[in-house]
Amino acid sequence: QVQLVESGGGSVQAGGSLRLSCAASGVISTPYCMGWFRQAPGKEREGIAAKNGWGLIDYADSVKGRFTISQDNAKNTLYLLMNDLKPEDTAMYYCAATTPCLVGIGVFLRARESVRIWGQGTQVTVSS
């Protein structure tokens, strides 16, 4: 059974940076999809960055150019580097995975019902 544990959230001023980490325990075999979702108070959970086992990556338009998803296979850890943070980035951030992943990376990112495994979340707060 795969488990995901996020860390790295916190409070930062607008324009600042944070790096989130997602440590995965258990076996995640190709084909897989992994990514980051976020949920602000009163809003639906949305996908913001995702990658699959073949290296394909996709981002939500709202974070493109500011956020970077990466992975360290040796450490079984997924990262999200967030630069130029804005107050509207304030949300609970969740790591997500699906294995086997039989949908395209764009579907995984935009259809949260395609996610099979969720982490517990880490809070990011950006002040103006």
pLDDT digits (tens, 9 = 90+) for 50-109: 999 999 999 999 999 999 999 998 889 999 999 999 999 999 999 999 999 999 999 999
pLDDT digits (tens, 9 = 90+) for 32-54: 999 999 999 999 999 999 999 99
Identify which has the larger pLDDT, 74 or 117: 117
Beta strands in 8-121 (DSSP E): 10-13, 18-25, 33-39, 46-52, 57-59, 67-72, 77-82, 91-98, 117-118
- Characterize 68-105 residue by residue with b for buried, 16 or more Cβ atoms within 10 angstroms of its Cβ, and e for exposed: ebebeeeeebbbbebeebeeebbbbbbbbbbbebeeeb
pLDDT at 73: 87
pLDDT at 95: 98
